[in-house]
Amino acid sequence: MKIIDGGVTAANGFYAAAAAAGIKYKDRTDMALVYSEYPCAAAGTFTTNVVKAAPVVYDREIIRSGAPVQAVIVNSGIANACTGEEGMGYCRRTAEAAGEALGIPATSVLVGSTGVIGMQLPIDRVCAGVKLLADAKKDTLEAGTEAAKAIMTTDTVKKEVAVEITLSGKTVRVGGMSKGSGMIHPNMCTMLGYVTTDAAVSSEMLQKAISEIVQDTFNMISVDGDTSTNDTLLVLANGSAGNEMIAEENEDYRTLYEALRYICETLAKKMAADGEGATRLIESAVIHADTKENAKILAKSVVCSSLTKAAVFGCDANWGRILCALGYSGVQFDPDKTDLYFENDEKKILIFHNGSAADYSEEEATQMLSGDKVRIVSDMNMGEASATAWGCDLTYDYVKINADYRS
Amino acid sequence: MKIIDGGVTAANGFYAAAAAAGIKYKDRTDMALVYSEYPCAAAGTFTTNVVKAAPVVYDREIIRSGAPVQAVIVNSGIANACTGEEGMGYCRRTAEAAGEALGIPATSVLVGSTGVIGMQLPIDRVCAGVKLLADAKKDTLEAGTEAAKAIMTTDTVKKEVAVEITLSGKTVRVGGMSKGSGMIHPNMCTMLGYVTTDAAVSSEMLQKAISEIVQDTFNMISVDGDTSTNDTLLVLANGSAGNEMIAEENEDYRTLYEALRYICETLAKKMAADGEGATRLIESAVIHADTKENAKILAKSVVCSSLTKAAVFGCDANWGRILCALGYSGVQFDPDKTDLYFENDEKKILIFHNGSAADYSEEEATQMLSGDKVRIVSDMNMGEASATAWGCDLTYDYVKINADYRS
């Protein structure tokens, strides 16, 4: 697997575009298109929130039907959530406008929305934006980057990644983009993520792979514990790389799986690191847990603890809050047998051992919390299961951004 | 039931004291004593965190034994959590010192700690503090207030309340104090809370009452979603009011129950309103839910949502975040049938109805979010169950307090 430049347009046959449609923002692009010149096998995972945004309900139906998909239209101004029948109608009208502008069936168009909950879309501006997108679409890496920028809301950096693999002798590319900074605590999947590949793969195998992969990637990040109404991850595969169609769990499947996993984990970590107001990425690794499920619960409890997150912001090695977060996770364990470490690229220091503080240097611990990335390792000494979760620190800027998001 | 002045010394035969023992703070009191001149029936509830502080383990044993209790010693500098065998030994030594200074059996002394996790207590200073407390103890209301101040950590106001009731013709008083501002998301019980009464009641009936009451009071508040290692609520009843001993669920039991409930609910709300950095109390009422359990989960999900908390801080009527929090709570419901209201002492306005925004005035909604207390009512229109949870807004000061708690 080779890491290459680009995102959703890295794979053959994929086009992208961005447009300033004035949905919410005045001075930036706020609509994006991902388009494939060939019909795609598609897979997706969606929010588990009972309150589902209209585009989630709309896309889920199409993905479940197994019909080929050829385009995705996204806007980043209004979430189209809590908008009733009117909001559902706007999903259909967006897809119809895109079908007409791109010369493809409306049923092969997926839609995505992110932004303020509860407002109705200005549908005329959306339809005008769709025409701009169809005219502007290009298959360059730059077009992919522009799309990645257009789907941002409170994100401070665009998120894209691509890799190249070989399947049955053919070069295959997999690329993706995502957005997400607040209301991040995915369950089943997260925020908006779009992955494209020119691999030939059945929609069943694609869905199987992505459903597994989200459990260890997007579902293991948290910025603020709030699971969005709009979480959506879509994967489109147009088959133009010409590899043998993947229709079973063979070696090609496993190679593609690893590529998809790398794309998803990278995008997930980029989202955690760019959490609203965040100054650093927190990586919480749990090792030697009794079961994988418990390892995940423990790892996630640490990155979800407001107190741990605030301590990391202050570079305060207040490790008692980490033990506390493990303790209220719901998992049973023996604190006296748990070891806690801080780790970075250069070293690993023991913080807690035998039920009380280890003999570490406070200065060294503080210094290890001041990098861009803080890695906390909890060794449960119970078994062989491990898991990693990602989050970010809690800062003044998180409060600032969210106390005044709508204005 | 008549609300009266005072706290833990409101009931007959109870004494309190505060001392500056220099456990952590240099310029304030940091140890407190609650003492009864008569042995008490005692009940308690404790944290469900797997990581339990030494005093939690210590007190729980004594409460379970059913032995009479006569004193509680609390320090507010160091939590004595994650301190291993050494920390357990310091609980015993504190109780022994108190037993000697007060002339009572060491086994009738309970201990409580709150503060930094992971540090060992300076036991010599603790024992010296115990002597100061024993010498200074008084049965005045002022002494109770001084004790309520001495147990504060990041609290900005002391929390106490007392009531007077009549049981079998005798005047009975019930009073309490508590502390808690951060790491507040009680489960079974919360932080440090001490309730005293001169009622004659068996420890079994007292335990039964308090175990039920915490479910609807302390367990329904959240400041930051972090369940402490030290949560403890203790109730002491010395029987000196001379009412007929309550040993069954008779009318006197119900009268005492209501008094205890009022004390616990008032202390819980005071803690939520004084959450770290908070500027306002959020009261989340869920009505017409299908079951009581679901009503509680829904109500609590709203006060735990970082995004809702930040929106309230900004007086931003961003109600989509409230719907979103109900939606990811884990409870099944139909968003299209849910009604959302903002309410204060003067009015109640409909915000969300029939699956989309109601026709409310944005100005009025903003104004209703700017008081000291914000009441959010979610009407599920499903059944007859209801529940209320309390929390507070998320502010810059929460981050400030917790990014630099130890220094």
CB-closest option in A81, A324, A355 to B320:
A81
Whether B402 sits inside 8 A of A394 (CB atoms) is: yes
> B396, A400: Cβ pair inside 8 Å?
yes
Say yes or no for a CB contact (<8 Å) between A402 and B314.
Answer: yes
Q: Which of B79, B226, B399 is facing A313, going by the closest CB pair?
A: B399
CA atoms of B250 and B165, how far apart (whole Å): 15
Q: Give the alpha-carbon dihedral of B96, B100, B104, B105, to 10 degrees.
A: 30
For the stretch B4-35, pLDDT in tens is: 999 999 999 999 999 999 998 888 999 999 99
CATH architecture of A2-273: 4-Layer Sandwich (3.60)
Give B-chain residues touching A320 at CB under 8 angstroms.
79, 81-82, 116-118, 229
Distance from CA of A37 to the nearest CA of B (A): 37
- Per-residue pLDDT, B174: 96
For domain A281-403, which CATH number applies: 3.10.20.310, 3.40.50.620, 3.40.50.880, 3.10.20.340? 3.10.20.340
Q: Give the pLDDT confidence score for residue B24 in this predicted structure.
A: 84
> Phi, psi at residue B214, to the nearest 5°?
-60, -30
Which two structure tokens, joined as six digits, stand for A252?
Answer: 């090609």
- pLDDT at A407 exceeding the cut of 60: no
pLDDT at position B180 is: 83
Encode pLDDT of B213-248 as tens digits.
998 998 888 877 777 788 888 999 999 999 999 999
pLDDT at B22: 94
Q: Which residues of chain A make contact with B314, given a CB cutoff of 8 A?
A: 402-405
Shortest alpha-carbon distance between residue B9 and chain A (Å): 33
For residue B316, give the nearest of A119, A185, A405 by CB distance.
A405
Mean pLDDT score, A22-41: 93
- With CB atoms and an 8 Å threshold, state whether B320 touches A79: yes
Q: Residue B185: is its pLDDT beyond 70? A: no
Tokens 């229109």 sit on residue: B381
**A26 pLDDT more than 90:** no
A47: nearest CA in chain B?
B328
Contact criterion met (CB < 8 Å) for B85 and A355: yes
**How close, in Å, is residue B195 to chain A by CA atoms?**
25
At residue B374, φ and ψ (nearest 5 deg) are: -115, 120
Instruction: For residue A269, give both structure tokens.
Output: 């970590």
Residue B71: predicted pLDDT: 96
Q: Would you kindly state where each structural domain of chain B is located, as residue ranges?
A: 2-273, 281-403
Question: Which H or E run includes B299?
Answer: helix B292-304
- Residue from B48, B50, B366 to probe the interface with A (highest A Cβ count within 10 Å): B50
- Which of A29, A45, A190, A395 is labelled catalytic? A190
- Nearest-neighbour CA in chain B from A342: distance (Å): 16
Where are the alpha helices (H) located in B305-354, listed in sequence order? Answer: 306-313, 320-327
State the smallest CA–CA distance between residue A257 and chain B in angstroms.
Answer: 29
Percentage of residues in chain A having pLDDT higher than 90: 71
User: Is B190's pLDDT higher than 50?
Assistant: no
Residue B407 — pLDDT band, cuts 50, 70, 90?
Answer: very low
- pLDDT, average across residues A36-65: 92
Residue A400's pLDDT is 87
Show residues of chain B in contact with A321, CB under 8 Å: 117, 183, 226
pLDDT digits (tens, 9 = 90+) for B33-80: 999 999 999 999 888 888 889 999 999 999 999 999 999 999 998 999
The yes-or-no verdict on residue A78 having pLDDT over 80 is yes
Query: Cβ contact (<8 Å) for B316 and A404?
Result: yes
Set of chain B residues whose Cβ sits within 8 Å of the Cβ of A81: 320, 323-324
Q: Which comes out higher in pLDDT, residue B289 or A406? A: B289
Which residues of B are catalytic, by number?
190
Interface ipTM: 0.78
* Interface mutation target, options B222, B306, B308, B339, chain A, most CBs of A under 10 Å: B306
- The pTM of this model reads 0.81
pLDDT at residue B366 greater than cutoff 60? yes
Give the chain B residue whose CA is nearest to the CA of A339: B82
Are A320 and B118 in contact (CB < 8 Å)? yes
Kindly determine whether residue B335 and residue A83, on different chains, have CB atoms separated by under 8 Å: no
